[in-house]
Amino acid sequence: MSQIIDLTREESAALAAISTRGTRVARGADIILQGEVDECAFLIHDGWALRHRQLADGRRQVLHFLVPGDWAGLTALMFPESDHAVTAVTDAVVATLSLRDLSALFQSHPRLGLAIYWTAAQEEAMIAEHLVNVGRRTAYERLGNLFLELLFRLQVVGHADHRAFDFPVNQAVLADALGLSQVHVNRTLQRLRKDGFVAVSDRRVVILNQAGLEQALDFESAYLHMAGPPAWLRRRISKRPAVGD
């Protein structure tokens, strides 16, 4: 949130209060079940999760990787049931907000509500890019784009250095995220390593040549909106509430 707005003491305290209500979730456990009624929203405080959709025959499409600082279940305010699932990839700590608490947070701290809405819009832009990945890009481009995206996202929340990050995702999950077979994922990983761009070992990704990889993929990071909200919106949400409001 501090990347988006200049937090007041009260807003910081409100977010801290949410984080202290964290619940430990075991690796592989569902945070949100597809097709069930949602009554809570969730903030990923620690660990990774994945947002995914499963078909009746068991095939699965991973829609998005959730990392610390990401929200899940915000649509519970609008939709009667979830059209996707969210599952922990690692042991995780997840803060839970009932819809009543979330609505109260929006009312008592409207700037936080607007900032949270902005993060939802940011994720929508990323998922749209993932659709372009699966629909139009080669396997090489899909995997390279995913690694670069995760590097940028994890750097923002302090979970990556200038070129490396932990990657607790196996090739089966990667295949479901990229619309590829596990064999194709493995071959593509080898190509990226052979070309001197990426190395993956011991659940850790190292970007060996970021500039070269971005050029090879024609990668554009604009869809990540790392600069935050546009200037007009930043001015609006940077206005501190008046005393007594």
Note the helical H segments in the chain. Answer: 9-19, 99-108, 110-136, 139-156, 171-178, 182-194, 210-217, 231-237
Split into its structural domains, the chain has a count of 1
Q: Which two tokens stand for residue 204?
A: 């850790």
CATH of residue 173's domain is 2.60.120.10
Question: Between 185 and 99, where is the model more confident?
Answer: 185
pLDDT tens digits for 102-124?
Answer: 888 889 998 888 888 889 999 99
Q: Is there a domain that residue 51 lies in? A: yes
pLDDT tens digits for 114-154?
Answer: 888 889 999 999 999 999 999 999 999 999 999 999 999 99
Read off φ and ψ for residue 78, nearest 5 degrees: -115, -35
Residue ranges making up the domain that contains 114: 9-237
Q: Is there a domain that residue 2 lies in? A: no
pLDDT tens digits for 57-71?
Answer: 999 999 999 999 999
- Rounded CA separation 231/156 (Å): 19
Q: Is there a domain that residue 243 lies in? A: no
When pLDDT is averaged across residues 210-238 and rounded to a whole number, the result is: 87
**Could you tell me if 49 and 106 are in contact, meaning their C-beta atoms sit under 8 angstroms apart?**
no
Question: Given a cut of 90, is residue 101 above it in pLDDT?
Answer: no
Q: Is there a domain that residue 245 lies in? A: no
